[in-house]
Structure 1
Amino acid sequence: IMNFGAFVTILPGKDGLVHISQISDKRVENVTDELAEGDKVKVKVLEVDKQGRIRLSMKALNESQD
């Protein structure tokens, strides 16, 4: 958990970042208001960049279920 988002393990040894803007469709002031270390969450992969960093979203998953 960081000020700007949360790192989520999606596979053993492979983490991605859920940016604070991708946690909820509501405005999130503090990541810890929505998430705690060890929480299990569902995420959608938004992008894998050239360095292999993975951008994740919880918000996009909720939007696609509507």
Structure 2
Amino acid sequence: MTDELTTAKWFKSSRSGGSRNCVEVAFLAKGLVGVRDSKNSSGPALIFTSDEWAAFTHAAARNLA
């Protein structure tokens, strides 16, 4: 998994406004999703299943409404 995280295509939200104070996300093999701190790109990353990621983004969107 470490190799996959190193070569992953990480991205930030278009709403980050170029700030370094945000998270980056990468879609990985087997439906997994990586999340890391944009200020520490070589640091640890959290890995979520697609179901966990869907639950998180759904809850976050619901709380913004």
**What TM-score do the two structures reach when normalised by structure 2?**
0.36
Greater helix share, structure number: 2
**What TM-score do the two structures reach when normalised by structure 1?**
0.36
Greater strand share, structure number: 1
Whichever of the two has the greater Rg, that structure is 2
